[in-house]
Amino acid sequence: MTRRTARSARTGFISLLILLLECAPTTRVEGEAQPLAGRATQGAEEFRIARERMVREQIESRGVRDPRVLAALRKVERHRFVPEALHHLAYSDQPLPIGHGQTISQPYIVAYMTEALELKPSDRVLEIGTGSGYQAAILAELVGEVYSIEIVEALAKESAERLQKLSYKNLKLRTGNGYRGWPEAAPFDAIIVTAAPPSIPSALLDQLAQGGRLVVPVGTMFQELIRVRRTPKGITQEELLPVRFVPMVGEKEAVK
């Protein structure tokens, strides 16, 4: 390559790099454009503004109306439940990886499923799939007692430490097989499943209190979010919306 050709190649590469940087997606905070890569650290006020926008633009605008659910979404700091490298995406409308092949659900799905549980302050709730602990924290803001099970041992340990640091006192956590539920603590007023079984686990139906609600994504390739109710006349169920969750696994398939 001649010196002139090499100089032209370098010039072309620099121009392309500048173009790519200028075209990088940005998120706006109080009218100021900021790269999604963000800064190494972000202030509490900046995160608060991002949460307010998340609730307003991603959740309220799409039909979630329960004021208690909206207040919980505004209060719980989602960035604390994702890896630090993803803090700049914590309030975006998307699921995010949390390690061990698992994800934290997008904020809208968390809000939608929580509202679908029709929670009362006195309720006792079982969560299958603690994950990062974000959904458990939202539930803990809304009800008296939350029981949460995580089958991935490393995730269970991480979420337990995280929730303890955040001073949640009404949460009970365990590592175990969600298909079995938590029989010694049953019955539950509400049960939420944050991974998709191919069919509704019978043990969870058995642990649902009279008048209780179970919200669960069901299916393999194609999944449907289903709400089950236990009524005096028996079990009823309704389809809510199509979804996409990681598969619900049993103990033999669990990731350590």
The angle, 0 to 180 degrees and rounded to 10, between the axes of the packed helices 67-75 and 44-53 is: 150
* Each residue's pLDDT tens digit, 47-83: 999 999 999 999 999 999 999 999 999 999 999 999 9
Catalytic choice (15, 61, 92, 105):
105
**DSSP-assigned states of every residue in 104-146:** EPPHHHHHHHHHHT---TT-EEEEE--TTSHHHHHHHTTSSEE
**What's residue 251's pLDDT?**
58
pTM metric for this prediction:
0.82
Query: Interior CA angle at 237 toward 234 and 243, to 5°?
Result: 155
> Beta-carbon neighbour count of residue 101 at 10 Å?
12
Of 67, 102, 100, residue with least CA distance to 247: 102
Assess whether the previous peptide bond of 97 is cis (omega < 30° from 0): no
Cβ-count burial of 39 within 10 angstroms (0-12 exposed, 13-18 middle, 19+ buried)? Answer: exposed
Task: Give Cβ neighbours of residue 26 (< 8 Å, ≥ 6 apart).
Answer: 33, 34, 35, 36
* Each residue's pLDDT tens digit, 139-168: 999 999 999 999 999 999 999 999 999 999
The DSSP output letter for 248 is: P
Mean pLDDT of the chain: 85
Cβ-count burial of 85 within 10 angstroms (0-12 exposed, 13-18 middle, 19+ buried)? Answer: exposed
* Each residue's pLDDT tens digit, 110-123: 999 999 999 999 99
Task: Establish whether 105 is a catalytic residue.
Answer: yes
Structural domains in the chain, CATH included, are: 94-253 (3.40.50.150)
CA distance linking residue 202 with residue 179, whole number of Å: 8
- Residues 130-140 have a mean pLDDT of 98
